[in-house]
Chains A and B, each alone.
Chain A
Amino acid sequence: MSDATHPAAHKSPARSLHQLDARTKRRNASERRFKVMGIVAIGIGLAFLVLLLSTIVINGSTAFQQTFIKVPVYLDPAKLDKSGNRDPDDLKKATTFTYAPLVQNGLLEVVQKAGFGSELSKSDMKNLISASAASQVRDRVLADPSLIGKTVDFEIFASSRVDGYLKGRVHRDEIALDKNISVAQLDLVDSLRKDGALHKGFNWTFIFGADASDSRAEQAGIGIAMLGSFYMMLVVLVLALPIGVAASIYLEEFAKKNRFTDLIEVNISNLAAVPSIVFGILGLAAFIQFAHLPQSAPLVGGLVLTLMTLPTIIISTRAALKAVPPSIRDAALGVGASKMQSVFHHVLPLAMPGILTGTIIGLAQALGETAPLLLIGMVGYVATNTPEGFWDGFVSPNSAMPAQIYEWAKRADPAFYERAWGGIIILLIFLLGMNLIAIILRRKFERRW
C-alpha cells in the first residue's frame, strides 16, 4: 500500500505502449485494407442497384402514360339499332365493322376542325388512332344503350406511334422509312395537341387491361397476367406452405436420423439448386401430358411453382426449427407434453418468423419465375378477358406477369418494349410488397418474446 503513494518510483517500461511495434502496425494496416475493401464492395453493389433502379424507372415509367384523342362520335341509331327497341341481343349484332365508320367520321370532324384533312388519306387518319377504337366505342354502347342517338365524346387511344411521338420515342427525322406514320400526320398531331383534342393521361388500361395483339401495343395491359400470377401464388401458398412445413417438422422433430433421412436431406438441398426449366418440363410431362390438366392454366403453373418452391420452404423451415433452443423442447417434454404438443405449442410459434420469411421468399421467387411457364404454355397472347368466375381463374388459359414481360420484350413495336419495362416496375412493386409483408409478420410474431 505504501508503494502507491510514490508514483515517481516507477521504472521506465521495457517497451513503451505509446509506440506501436512493427507487428501491431502490420495488423492495423491489414485491418484497414480489409475495411476499405468492404466499403468498395458495398459501394459497387449500391452503384449497380442505383443503376438498375434508375434504368427501370426511366424506361418503364412512360408505360404508365398514354396519349388519348378526344373524338366526338355520333352513335347513329339507324346503323347500330335497326330494330329500334334497344334490345341488348340485337345491339350485339352490330360488330366493330359497323362502329368503325362512325369513329372515322368523328375523327374526320376533329381533323377538319384543326384545318387539315385534304393532305391526309383515309388510312393516314386511321393510323392516328388505335385499331381498338371501334371496340372501345362498342363496349361502351353495349354497357349503356341509352347513348345511341347522341354524339358522345370518346377518349380514344392514340396509336403507338403517335403516343411514342409525344413521349419522345418517335422523332420526325427518323420516320422516313416508317409506313405507319408520316410527317404530315405529326403536323396534325402537333396542332391537335395545341387544341387540346390530344392529350396524355394516366394509363389505367396498362395496369388493369389484357394483353393485345401485335398491332395494338397502345391497348396492351398487364392486368390479366397479374390475375394469372395471383392464382398461381394462391396455388403455391395453399400447397407449398402446409406440405413444406409438415415435411420439415417431420424431418426435423420426428424422423430418426438414418441413412434414408440423410438421403432425403441431400435430395432436398439438391432440388433447391435444380434449374427451374427442369421443373417446367416435369410439369409438362406430369400434369399436362399425363394427368391431362388444361394447358396454359394457372393451376398447372401453380403446381409447377409449388414443386420449385417446396425445397426453399423446407430448407428455411428446418433452419428456423433448428434455431429454436433445445431447452424449450426439454421444458415441454419435462412437464409431460407429447412430442407433438411440444412442437405445436412451443417450437412452431418460435420458429414462425423464420418459416414465414422463408415462405415469402419462396413465393417471391415463384412470382418472378418465367422459364417453367414457357414450357406449359403460359406465355404468348393467351388471355383477352378476365376469367368468368373465381374458380374459372384457375383453369382458364392465362399468362403471368414475368411471362407477359418476356412476351412484350420479344415483340417488334417499341411500344411493347416500353411496356415490358413498365411491367417490371409493377412486378418489383409486388415483390417489395411481399417483402414488406414478410417484415411485418416477422415483427408481429417476434413480439411474442
Chain B
Amino acid sequence: MNDMTLTERAVNATDCKITARNVQVYYGETHAIKDVDVDILDKTVTAFIGPSGCGKSTFLRCLNRMNDTIDICRVKGEILLDGEDIYDKRVDPVQLRAKVGMVFQKPNPFPKSIYDNVAYGPKIHGLTRNRAELDEIVEASLRKAALWGEVKDRLQAPGTGLSGGQQQRLCIARAIATSPEVLLMDEPCSALDPIATAQVEELIDELRTNFSVVIVTHSMQQAARVSQKTAFFHLGNLVEYDETDQIFTNPTDPRTESYITGRIG
C-alpha cells in the first residue's frame, strides 16, 4: 500500500465514493435493474441483500463494468466514481477495474502459483519497478488477506491446491494487490464452510480501513455482522437503503420486513 493514498483517503471517512442515479439494466428484453439510486460511502462496508434473482449481482457488476463482457447486457443511467461517470465514452473499463476490484462467488484463482496469482495485477499495471517491490506487495496483500502465515513457505505451490477458504482469501489478496479504491464481493462466502466464512468476514471488517467494500450476500446474519449500510433489492428495485441497524431493527418498507423475517425469499 502506498502511504500517500492512505492518508489522502483518511481525510473524510464518510465521503461518497460511488453515486448511482436512475440505473437501468436490461438483458435483451429482460429489465433486470429498475431505476436504482444509491450512494456508496468510502471506508464503509455496504451489503446488498435480497431474494435470489433480484439483481444484486447484476447491479454489483455495473460498478466495475463487468457487465460489458455480456453481449446482451445494456446499462442506462449514471454511475459516478469520485464524481466521474464510469460509463463515459472516454473511460477504459480496464483502467476502471484496476480501481474497482472484484471478488467472485466461486473462488477462481488462476492455475498458477500462489505468488503469481497475487503478483499478476501489480505486474500488468506496472506498479513495481523490481522484484523486491513485487515481493513486498505480494507479502503485504497476503498479510492483509490473513493468508500469509499459511502460505509463506509455499508461495510457488499452485493456488488451485489450496482449500476453498484459502482460495477465496487468495482471491481477495489478488484483488487488493492492485490497491483498488473499491472492493466488490459477490457472495464471497457462499462456497465456504463456517470457519472459513468467519475468517473472511473478519477480513472484510479489516479491509474497511483502506477500502470501500460492497458485498452481496444471501445471509442476513452476515450482512448484519459485517456491514454498516445495507441495501435491500427486490425484483430489480432498490426497496430500501439505510444503516444496517435500521434495516434489521426497524425497516420502513413492508417488503423489507417480510424478507428479513423470512416471508419472501
Contact = CB atoms under 8 A, between A and B. Distances in A.
A422 to B, nearest CB: 46
22 contacts: A256-B71, A327-B108, A328-B110, A330-B69, A330-B102, A330-B108, A331-B108, A332-B120, A333-B97, A334-B64, A334-B101, A334-B102, A334-B103, A335-B120, A336-B121, A336-B125, A337-B120, A345-B120, A345-B124, A449-B111, A449-B112, A449-B160
Interface in A244-269: 256-257
Interface in B92-118: 94-98, 101-104, 106, 108-112
Contacts of B112: 449
B66 interface: yes
Interface string A319-347: 00000010111111111111001000110
Given A327-B106, A327-B108, A335-B98, 15 more contacts: A328-B108, A328-B111, A330-B102, A331-B108, A331-B171, A333-B69, A334-B175, A335-B120, A336-B98, A336-B101, A336-B125, A336-B178, A345-B124, A449-B160, A449-B161
A336 B110 contact: no
A449 B157 CA distance: 10
A346 B110 contact: yes
Given A257-B71, A337-B124, A332 B110 contact: yes
Interface in B50-96: 64, 66, 69, 71, 94-96
Which of A256, A328, A335, A345 counts the most chain B CB atoms within 10 A?
A: A335
A18 interface: no
A350 interface: yes
Instruction: Give the 5 A-B residue pairs with the shortest CB-CB distance, closest first.
Output: A336-B98, A327-B108, A334-B102, A335-B121, A336-B97
A257 B121 CA distance: 29
B109 A331 contact: yes
A256 B70 CA distance: 10
Interface string A357-401: 000000000000000000000000000000000000000000000
A278 B86 CA distance: 53
B251 interface: no
A335 B101 contact: yes
A341 B161 CA distance: 24
A106 to B, nearest CB: 70
Range of interface residues on chain B? 20 to 34
B229 interface: no
Interface in A417-449: 448-449
B94 A338 contact: yes
B164 interface: no
Interface of A: 256-257, 325, 327-338, 341, 345-346, 350, 448-449
B66 A333 contact: yes
B169 interface: no
A256 B125 CA distance: 27
A341 B112 CA distance: 15
Given A256-B71, A335-B121, A335-B174, A330 B104 contact: yes
A336 B71 contact: no
Contacts of A333: 66, 69, 97
Interface of B: 64, 66, 69, 71, 94-98, 101-104, 106, 108-112, 120-121, 124-125, 158, 160-161, 171, 174-175, 177-178
B124 A336 contact: yes
B158 A449 contact: yes
A331 B125 CA distance: 15
Nearest to A255: B71
A256 B69 CA distance: 10
Nearest to B69: A333
B94 A336 contact: yes
A332 B175 CA distance: 10
B104 A334 contact: yes
B97 A335 contact: yes
Given A331-B110, A350-B111, A336 B104 contact: no
A331 B117 CA distance: 10
A63 to B, nearest CB: 48
Nearest to A256: B71
A337 B175 CA distance: 12
Contacts of B97: 333-336
Nearest to B93: A333
Contacts of B174: 331, 335
A329 B124 contact: no
B175 A327 contact: no
A448 B156 CA distance: 12
From B66, B120, B158, name the one whose CB has the most chain A CB atoms within 10 angstroms: B120
A346 B109 CA distance: 11
A347 to B, nearest CB: 11
A331 B104 contact: yes
Contacts of B103: 334
Contacts of A327: 104, 106, 108
Nearest to A350: B111
Nearest to B105: A327
Given A331-B104, A336-B95, A341 B158 contact: no
Nearest to B99: A336
Nearest to A334: B102
Contacts of A449: 111-112, 158, 160-161
Contacts of A331: 104, 108-110, 171, 174
A296 to B, nearest CB: 48
Contacts of A329: 69
A345 B112 CA distance: 10
A448 B157 CA distance: 11
B257 to A, nearest CB: 35
A333 B175 CA distance: 11
The residue in A325, A327, A336, A449 that gathers the most chain B C-beta atoms within 10 A of its C-beta is A336
B201 to A, nearest CB: 21
Nearest to B174: A335
A236 to B, nearest CB: 31
B202 to A, nearest CB: 22
A83 to B, nearest CB: 74
Contacts of B96: 336
A97 B103 CA distance: 85
A352 to B, nearest CB: 12
Contacts of B120: 332, 335, 337, 345
Nearest to A327: B108
A158 B101 CA distance: 79
